[in-house]
Structures are given as structure tokens and as C-alpha cells.
Amino acid sequence: MRLGVSSSAFICMMPKEVVVAMSSFVKTGAPCRLDEHLNRMMVDFTRDMMNAINSSEIGTMECYHSTIWNIDQVMEPILDHPNVEFWSVHAPYGRQYDPSSPNPDIREAAVRAYCEAVDIAKRLGAKVVVAHPGAQAEYDTPRHERLKLIPDTMTRIADYAAEFDIRIAIEPLPNQEPGNSVEEVLWVLDQMNRPNAGVNFDVNHLFPAVAIPDLIRKAGNRILSTHISDQDDTERHWLPFEGKLDWGAVIEALAQSGYDGPLIYETHVKNAGSCDEIAAIIVDNYHKLLKLPVAGLV
């Protein structure tokens, strides 16, 4: 299982103004587009990030897509002589793009945004789009009824992705959103009944930490991609070995499930002064994983 990284692992080096705008957009759903100045800051950050990744041992990458920035401008430094495999694209998420929303307009917005992520994956040559099945939002509609709305929305996205041989990896969520367990995500996949749909297993979104290896085995060969970070029975996104996860057991369970894709680090590295330093910290941490006596890691 080779080393991969999510662009969100570099969030501590992202311009604070961009982070604030993105966080507000996800939490409130209020319309937001970066102005020319902030968009230029995002482009400059992306260039620094890509330079760090391209000059490191990181071999694969997941690109996070947001609708708040100018995607064509942000894509320029990503596609400027990359020395990395683009494995996946993370679709936008939040209450404004909620596949479980009782509001049909919001579900339609989710279809448009997730299909836009498919288009970006096509441009990058990535074959996986990571998708959230729900969002943390208050509705009068009971949660179990919202869960029933997800399969139709996700099926439309999966069918569009299938036209380009792209797979949709649904990610179990960490709070009270519909789709916050392996069982619920597998139920959604069963209702969809699409060969290009599976699971993005985020080991930071399910609890307690001790249950993660068994939950990986439950998802089994439906795992299409991963998010790797550590936790202490709540969502943390720490580096491996900083929390409670038994990494030998996690890697062994992934191998037993037949997973042979990359370990995508979705860690929030905070004690770093540059994108180069973040990349070096992640590479060093991966080398510690390689020392574990676990079959299937390399």
C-alpha cells in the first residue's frame, strides 16, 4: 500500500482568509466565491503545495475540490508537470450539497457539484471520486427518512461517473449525519446496485478506535480508497501513532479485505512552517508504518 496524501493535509499552510471562507461556506451554506485577491492566494498556495509533493517521496494524491475558488486557475499549478499520480478527487460537501436533504433543490445541487468533481477527476486522470452521503444539518424530516433519499442521488452521480470509468467512493461520516456507519453506507450501496460504487474508508470517522479493524473487514472488498489519520475515539485527524489506533491491525485488515490502493494521509499537520515540511513529516511517518511487521503493507 503505497503512500498518498490529501491536499487537505496541507491546510495549515493554506491562507487563513481562504480557510475561513471555506469553513463558513461548509457550515452555513451561504453563497461564497473567492474574490480575485483570495483566489490568487489560493493559486500561490496550491503551487507551493504541488512543488512540495512533486519533490517528495509521495507517489499518489487526492485533490480536494471546492466550488468557492476559480477551478481553472487553481488547476494550473496542479497540472504543471506533476510528479505524482492523481488517485482521487474529494467532492464538495456541506449542507448546501447534501444528498440526504429533504429539499430537492439541495439534492440537485449535490448532483451538480459531485458531477463537477467527476469532471475534474477526468481532467486529472483520477479514477476515484470521494463523496459524502449526508451533511450535519437540522431538518424536520426524520433521519431515517433522509437516509432513504441518498441512494437515488448517489446513483445518478455514479451513472455519470461510469461514463468515464470513474468510481464513486462513499465515505462514512463521523457525527449524526445519515451515512455515519459502515452498515448505513453498505445499505446505500446495496440500494444503488452500481458496480462503480464502493466505500472510502476513513479511519477517523468511525468509533471507537478499537473497532476499526473489524469495521474494515465488514466493508471488505467494497473499499475503493482510504483516508489515513489517527484518533482517540473522536475525530482528530492526527498523524498515525499519535492516537489510539492499532496501525498493525488496521493495515492487516485492509490487506485481508483485498485493498491494494494507496494510504491517503488526510492528516492535519499543524506544527510545520512550510508545505515542504509537511510533506517531509508525512513521508517520515509513512516510513514508521513500513517498519510494522505486517504483510500486505508493501
Residue 22: pLDDT over 70: yes
- What pLDDT is attached to residue 226? 98
Residue 16: pLDDT over 80: yes
In the sheet where 3-6 sits, what is the strand order? 223-227, 197-202, 167-170, 128-131, 85-90, 60-64, 3-6, 263-265
The 3-state secondary structure of 144-171, one letter per residue = HHHHHHHHHHHHHHHHHHHCCCCEEEEC
List, in order, residues 6 or more apart from 238 with CB less than 8 Å away. Answer: 229, 230, 231, 267, 268
- What pLDDT is attached to residue 180? 96
- What pLDDT is attached to residue 232? 98
Residue 24: pLDDT over 80: no
pLDDT tens-digit series, residues 71-130 = 999 999 999 999 999 999 999 998 899 999 999 999 999 999 999 999 999 999 999 999
**This prediction's pTM:** 0.95
Asked if residue 133 has a cis previous peptide bond (ω within 30° of 0), the answer is: no
Residue 253: pLDDT over 90: yes
Is 33 part of a structural domain of the chain?
A: yes
How many structural domains is the chain composed of? 1
- What pLDDT is attached to residue 32? 78
CA–CA separation, 189 vs 185, rounded Å?
6
- How many other C-beta atoms lie within 10 A of the C-beta of residue 138? 6
Residue 265 is part of a domain; what is its CATH number? 3.20.20.150
Residue 136's domain comprises 3-290
Residue 57: pLDDT over 80: yes
- What pLDDT is attached to residue 211? 98
- Yes or no: say if 246 and 289 are a contact pair by the CB < 8 Å rule: no
Residue 224: pLDDT over 90: yes
- What pLDDT is attached to residue 208? 98
Is 93 part of a structural domain of the chain?
A: yes
Is 297 part of a structural domain of the chain?
A: no
- What pLDDT is attached to residue 173? 96
At residue 42 the predicted structure's pLDDT band, cuts being 50, 70 and 90, is: very high
Using DSSP bridges, classify how beta strands 60-64 and 85-90 pair: parallel, antiparallel or unpaired.
parallel
Is 295 part of a structural domain of the chain?
A: no
Residues for the chain: how many in total? 298
- Yes or no: say if 180 and 207 are a contact pair by the CB < 8 Å rule: no
The arithmetic mean of pLDDT across residues 204-219, rounded, is 98
Is 266 part of a structural domain of the chain?
A: yes
Residue spans of beta strands (DSSP E) within the chain: 3-6, 60-64, 85-90, 128-131, 167-170, 197-202, 223-227, 263-265
Angle at 237 between CA 57 and CA 72, to 5 degrees: 60
Tell me the longest C-alpha to C-alpha distance in the chain.
50
Is 296 part of a structural domain of the chain?
A: no
- Yes or no: say if 277 and 49 are a contact pair by the CB < 8 Å rule: no
Is 238 part of a structural domain of the chain?
A: yes
pLDDT tens-digit series, residues 120-163 = 999 999 999 999 999 998 899 999 999 999 999 999 999 999 99
List, in order, residues 6 or more apart from 210 with CB less than 8 Å away. Answer: 244, 246
